[in-house]
Amino acid sequence: MMTLNWYLALSAVLFTIGTLGVLIRKNAIVLFMSVELMLNAVNLTLIAFSAHLGDSTGQILVFFSLCVAAAEAVVGLAIIIAIFRNNLMVDISKINLLRW
Amino acid sequence: MAEYLFILLATIAIGAALAMIVSKNAVNSALFLVMNMISLAGVYMLLNAQYLAVIQVLVYAGAIMVLFLFVIMLLNQEDEQGLFDKISFKYLFSALLSFVLLAQVVYMIMHWTGATMTIAQTSSEIGTVESLGKVIFTEYLLPFEVTGILLTAAVVGALVIANKKANSSK
């Protein structure tokens, strides 16, 4: 019998993998993809609650979060292109202009 | 039947996510993320969210990941060298932090007493395009319009940031 816990556990594992990706990777694009993975994990939680409570509000929220994720990906990739144009690399451990 | 399907899809999703964060080549990472998103769309189908499953494949696996692949190929960077060549303190600390996070979330899930409920009887009716469209265009009409403004602002902002002339002036 499939209960809500299964979906929440899958979501927790995916969110943790996304966090691990953000922590260990140095390539800015892969780091961005890990953030997208975390967003997806949260979307799964919202849809699971929506389906189990019989309420459509969670799915509406996922719809809006998809739109925000698309906007975030576009602006973030534009920032990465701008960084690459100035530094010729996207290794975030070597981009330390704002560090004192 | 649904249990086996869920276990299959969850295994693919977790395996693809792990492969994404350890593969050296960024293109491979992007393709593993596409695989992860498609299997998550299958999980959405199990939850009777047909509309969001289709949107997940179209918008995420289609549009956003094509954008990622374009940027990866535009930047034309080499593979990341020596991701796991030496086990440094940083990797161990990252793994420890992630494990603590997972333990916290799983603890929360297991100690929430309402978590044993099963899928609602009406769930097959709320996930369709018809019912979601009705709610979006009546109750959530203002947020929907604001989303349009947000996407327009994002497109204009991306053009301004990635524009060559804006950077060459200094």
In a domain, B167, yes or no: no
For residue B46, give every residue at least 6 positions away whose Cβ sits within 8 Å of its Cβ, in sequence order, or none. A2, B2, B5, B6, B9
Boundary (domain end) residue, out of B59, B79, B99: B79
Shared-domain flag, residues B1 and B75: yes
In a domain, A97, yes or no: no
In a domain, A70, yes or no: yes
Shared-domain flag, residues B45 and B71: yes
Cβ-based contacts of A78 with chain B (< 8 Å):
157-159, 161-162
Shared-domain flag, residues B72 and B5: yes
Tokens encoding A90: 């996207």
Q: What local confidence, expressed as pLDDT, does residue B170 receive?
A: 46
**Into how many domains does chain B fold?**
2
CB atoms within 10 A of CB A97: 7
Asked if A18's CB is within 8 angstroms of B17's CB, the reply is yes
Q: What local confidence, expressed as pLDDT, does residue B57 receive?
A: 93
Q: What local confidence, expressed as pLDDT, does residue B128 receive?
A: 87
In a domain, A100, yes or no: no
Shared-domain flag, residues B106 and B62: no
CB neighbour class for A11 (10 Å; exposed up to 12, middle 13-18, buried from 19): buried
CB neighbour class for B57 (10 Å; exposed up to 12, middle 13-18, buried from 19): middle
Residues B139, B144, B145, B146, Cα dihedral to 10° = 110
Comparing CB atoms, the residue among B21, B40, B47 nearest residue A40 is B40
Q: How far apart are CA B87 and CA B84, in angstroms?
A: 6
In a domain, B141, yes or no: no
Q: How far apart are CA A13 and CA B18, in angstroms?
A: 10
pLDDT confidence bin for A94, thresholds 50/70/90: confident
Write phi, then psi, for B26 (nearest 5 degrees). Answer: -70, -30
Shared-domain flag, residues B98 and B32: no
pTM: 0.89
Q: What local confidence, expressed as pLDDT, does residue B143 receive?
A: 93
In a domain, B29, yes or no: yes
In a domain, B153, yes or no: no
Q: Return the higher-pLDDT residue of A44 and A87.
A: A44
Q: Return the higher-pLDDT residue of A98 and A37.
A: A37
Size of interface A-B (CB pairs under 8 A): 228
Shared-domain flag, residues B9 and B63: yes
Shared-domain flag, residues B37 and B53: yes
Boundary (domain end) residue, out of B79, B95, B111: B79
Rounded mean pLDDT, A32-45: 94
> CA distances (Å), B168 to each of A85, A89, B3, B45, in order?
10, 18, 57, 48
Comparing CB atoms, the residue among A17, A50, A60 nearest residue B17 is A17
**Into how many domains does chain A fold?**
1
In a domain, B72, yes or no: yes
Rounded mean pLDDT, A50-65: 90
Q: What local confidence, expressed as pLDDT, does residue A45 receive?
A: 93
> CA distances (Å), B134 to each of A58, B105, B140, in order?
15, 34, 9
In this structure, what CATH number is given to the domain that contains residue A30? 1.10.287.3510
In a domain, A92, yes or no: no
Write phi, then psi, for B118 (nearest 5 degrees). Answer: -100, 175
A73 touches B at CB < 8 Å? yes
In a domain, A98, yes or no: no
Q: Are B60 and B39 in contact (CB under 8 A)?
A: no
The range of the structural domain enclosing residue B43 comes to 1-79
Rounded mean pLDDT, A86-95: 78
User: DSSP assignment, residue B24?
Assistant: S
In a domain, A95, yes or no: no
B129-138 and A57-87 helices, crossing angle to 10° = 80
Pick out chain B residues at pLDDT < 50.
Answer: 166-167, 169-170
Q: How far apart are the first and last CA of chain B?
A: 62
The range of the structural domain enclosing residue A78 comes to 4-87
Q: How far apart are CA A19 and CA A61, in angstroms?
A: 22
